[in-house]
Structures are given as structure tokens and as C-alpha cells.
Amino acid sequence: MVKAAAKPKKETTMEEALWKSADKLRGSVEPAEYKHVVLSLFFLKFASDKFESQRKTIIKKYGERFVDIVAFYAKDNVFFLPEESRWSYIMENAKQDDIALKIDTALCTIEKANPALKGALPDNYYSRLHIDTAKLASLLDEINRINTDDKENDIIGRVYEYFLGKFALAEGKGKGEFYTPKCIVNLIAEMIEPYDGILYDPCCGSGGMFVQSIKFVEAHSGNKKRVSIYGQEYTNTTFKLAKMNLAIRGISANLGEMAANTFTNDQHKDLKADYIMANPPFNQKEWRAADELKHDPRWQGYEVPPTSNANYGWILNIVSKLSQNGVAGFLLANGALSDDGTELKIREQLIRNSLVEAIITLPRNLFYTTDISVTLWILNKNKKARTVEQNGQVKHYRDREKEILFMDLRQMGSPYEKRYIELTEEDRAKVTATYHNWQQVGYKETYRDIPEFCYSASFDDVEKRGFTLVPSRYIKFANRDENIDFDTKMKTLQGELKDLLIQEKQSKADLLAVFKELGYEIKL
């Protein structure tokens, strides 16, 4: 009898592999841990595949005597992996009882061999999780199916953006704060154009702002080596994700000595940045004690931000870090545009100091963690007329010290994942062209106020309205109440309700499955 030929190992798509990987963990670890478990293992496979490819190249070019020289890997941003850290070794031992310890040892060894990864990889993580050996082996099998040899695309970027984004979605409100949708990060980068100089993010999450900024620079034929990156992150696990995310892309960054609170343990006290990009936690409560930080130098020239809400604490931290010609783009909840009391006094001073350049209301449902409409603020330390050469282009900026550009993007965006909205490349191009045209000498030929989209307000306009920065107080809007399409609205609600009912059914099935696995089956 002729024995059937063995079937070739089936490769799977990134999305299938990632979700199958997560599914292997069900019942073993908390859902919030999935991303950390899978991303570290994916990193191990990705780094190992790149190492093996570089190893073959070195042998071919220089001979086998050079294969253990670290410099031959580092020069091409490839991590050197000792034998016990290679994916092949992990897979050979995948079904051993001590596989969790071997994974921890592999990650520890890689970190010691590669200074750029210091503090980036989990420490003794898999041993502490106590995942069933069979489940961990099955998880390794799924990740082993992923093909990382994709020279045309940023494979690691695809994993991080997809996986972190999907888990931000799955974790729901109040979770996933470390992830900012790519379309928003791209919009900020396209507006402030961080081609060269110091780039800072005071709440950098998993490093997405930095990654997209570097992509922007490279896409416009810039040199990423001319951008120096500084950041800070409060949560230790997210801090590690950021270091890993940047290190495997060959992006050098100073994220401080440790994960730390930006307000109480500023890791970059004397920093002056040319560009700042940030997505601070919205409406952060009790961010400081009543008497804490009252005399902090970051508030110099302004009222002390109230303890009840950190929004203006973040704003003044950003202002304090801007260089003489620095520009910042950051997100805040809409309430910051019109808050009274201390916030109003700070906002008025910011406007009088000619720091506020543009205020952009974004569409609802852009974020996985909240459905509210949020605002993009653009602050500019130098709104005076000047000529600047940037990335090979000469730009003639006009004086905008007594003007603020307001924009409303709530009618823009395309559906994404059924319940969410994303700003398309065309949307962003329209917004950035409007903004840059408004900044330039001769703007009257290229810019005009457009009802329901944009308005250039004078200082007098803003002062008359009590220093509110709500765009709808300046931009003209038509009354659309009588034009509501009831049928379309109801069909949208119908689809949303269907999704909720499906999720409820799945949650019920998962709960019943867990009890059955524990030996306490619930029969309905």
C-alpha cells in the first residue's frame, strides 16, 4: 500500500492566525492578557525569521566564520539570537513540560544580547501565567503558521496595528487606551509634518504615534535619522510594548528610564521638542492631589490646572515642552473647548499668547474605546511670518498670530468594522491642504471659509464669544432637522442592535463553555 504524501504545512493569513492564537488562550488567561501573550511570541518568531535570513546572507557573502559576530546583524537592524532564543529551538521543545520556562529564557537571552531591547521584553512572564502545556503548544503551532517573509509590506506594523486595534475594540470602553487609530495618527503627522528635529509624546502608549511619523517622513523622501524620538508611558506592560514595537523596526527612541507618571515623575524635564503628538487619557480624574504640583514650573504664566480634570494639565505640559518654533498636535475630549472656571482662564491665556493655531472637531465613532466626538488641537509656538526650508521645500508662512482656523470633520469618514468610522486618505488630503493653504502667504487665492467645514476666526471673533473654541460657534451650519432620512437612520440602528444581540449570544455561549470545562455544566 502506497503511503499518502504528507500534506504541506498550511500557511494562514495574519488575521486568521492572530485570532486563532487568541482563541487558544480562552479559559487559561484573562482576555486583557491575550495581546501580551501573543505579541511577545510573535516577536520571537519575527526576530528569529529575520535572524535566520540574515545568517544565510552572511554565510553567502562572507563565510561561516562571521555568522556569530553581532555587528553583522546589527548593521541591518537584525537582532542577534543565541541558539536557545531561536524559534526553531522553541518549536522543537513546544510539547515539553518546561516550554514556558524555555520561552522566558529565550526572551531574557535576546534582551541581554541586544541593548536596544533593554526593558522591552516580558520578564519571567510565561512561567507566571501557568498556561496548560498543551494549550501553549497549540498556540505556538498557530503562530508558526504565520509567514513573516513579506518584503513588500511592513509585516510587524500590520500585526501591531491590527492586533492592538482589535483588542482595543474587544476590551471596550475604558480599555485599550494605548491605541490610537492609524487614520488619526496619520492626520496629525500630515498636518504638523515632523520631518526633522525632536519628536515627543508624553503618553506614548505602544508607540504608534512614533511609528506613523517615521512612515510619514520616509513616504516623503525624508531621513528618519534626522528625527530624535522622546516619549513616556505610565503603564509598565504598555511601556514594554512600545519599546518592543520601536526596537524591531530599528527606530531609536528615549522612553525614559522606566514606566512613569508624566506629571509626578517627568522623565524628560528639560526637553524642548520641535514636534509633539499625543492622545492623552480623556477627562482624567484626580490626576494630582490638592496640594501636589501647585508650584510646578510647567504651569508658569498660567493658572494651576484643577485637580478634577487633567485636560489642561496635559495642555500645559505640552506647551512647556515646545521649542521656540515647536508645533503640537494632540487629542482631547470636546469639553476642553468650552470649560469654565480655571480652564477658561488658561484657555484665554493660551489664545492671548497666540499659541492656538487650529481646532478640528473629528467624527464620532473613530475610537474603539469611546463613541464621542473628540477634538484635534494644533498649537504653534511661532505663528509669525517667516520663510522655512523643510525637506527640500521652501515655505512662506504668513502672520497668523491673531487668527485661529476652525474645522469640522463630522460629515467626513467611511464605515469601518460596521460600527466605526475612519478618515480616508482623500478626507485627510482635503483637511491638510486646507490647513496648509491657510498658513501660507497668498492664502486668499487658495483658502476660503466653507460653511459646515472651515472658518478662519480673528482674535476679535474669539473674544466676542467669550474665548470658547467650539468650532460650531464659528462655522456656519444649515438646519438639517427636516431633512433626516428616517428609514436610513432606522436601518443603521437595526444593524447595530443585531450586532449587539450576536455579541450577547456569543458571550452566553462562552460562559456556558467555561462552566462545562470546570465540570459544572449548566443545562438550559
pLDDT, position 7: 46
Whether the CB-CB separation of 279 and 204 falls below 8 Å is answered with no
Reported as a single tens digit per residue, the pLDDT across 97-106 is 999 999 999 9
Q: Of 142, 144, 163, 147, give the one whose Cα is nearest residue 245.
A: 163
Tell me the per-residue pLDDT of 230-261, one tens digit each, with 9 for 90 and over.
999 998 888 888 888 888 777 889 999 999 99
As a whole number of angstroms, the distance between CA 278 and CA 321 comes to 12
- What is the per-residue pLDDT for 188? 96
Of all residues in the chain, the percent with pLDDT exceeding 90 is 53
Q: What is the per-residue pLDDT for 163?
A: 62
Tell me the pLDDT tens digit for each residue of 10-59.
444 555 566 666 666 766 777 667 777 888 888 899 899 989 999 999 99
Does pLDDT of 317 surpass 90?
A: yes
Out of 337-351, 456-470, 506-520, which region has the weakest mean confidence (pLDDT)? 506-520
- CA-based nearest residue to 207, from 185, 175, 174: 185
Q: Which residues contact 199 (CB under 8 A, 6 or more apart)?
A: 210, 213, 227, 228, 229, 230, 273, 274, 275, 276, 277
Looking at per-residue pLDDT, the higher value among 491 and 340 belongs to 340
- pLDDT-based confidence at 153, cuts 50/70/90? very low
Tell me the average pLDDT across 448-473: 96
The Cα 40–Cα 50 span in angstroms is 15
CB 7 within 8 A of CB 96: no
Residue 369: pLDDT band by 50, 70, 90 thresholds?
A: low
Set of cell numbers at residue 328: 503640537
Q: Which residue matches cell numbers 501580551?
A: 36
What's the average model confidence in pLDDT over 292-303?
Answer: 95
Average pLDDT over residues 130-140: 88
Is the pLDDT reported for residue 389 higher than 90? no
Q: Is 75 helix (H, G, I), strand (E, B) or coil?
A: coil
Q: Residue 356: pLDDT above 80? A: yes
Q: Please check the confidence at residue 334 and state whether its pLDDT lies above 60.
A: yes
pLDDT at 307 over 90: yes
SS (H, E, C) 77-145: CCCCCCHHHCHHHHHHCCCCCCHHHHHHHHHHHHHHHCHHHCCCCCCCHHHHHCCCHHHHHHHHHHHHC
Q: Which residue has the cell 482631547?
A: 332
Residue 374 pLDDT > 70: yes
| Residue 138 scores a pLDDT above 70 | yes
Find, among 36, 57, 51, 120, the residue nearest to 90 by Cα.
51
pLDDT number for residue 174: 39
pLDDT in tens, 211-235: 889 888 888 878 888 899 999 999 8
Range 445-470 average pLDDT: 96
The arithmetic mean of pLDDT across residues 291-310, rounded, is: 94
Q: Which residue has the higher pLDDT, 482 or 131?
A: 131
For residue 337, give the DSSP letter. G
Mean of the per-residue pLDDT values for the chain? 86
- Give per-residue pLDDT as tens, 165-185: 566 555 544 344 446 888 899
The better pLDDT of the pair 82, 146 is held by 82
Is pLDDT above 70 for 152? Answer: no
Identify the residue with better confidence: 522 or 58.
58
What pLDDT band is residue 492 in, cutting at 50, 70 and 90? confident
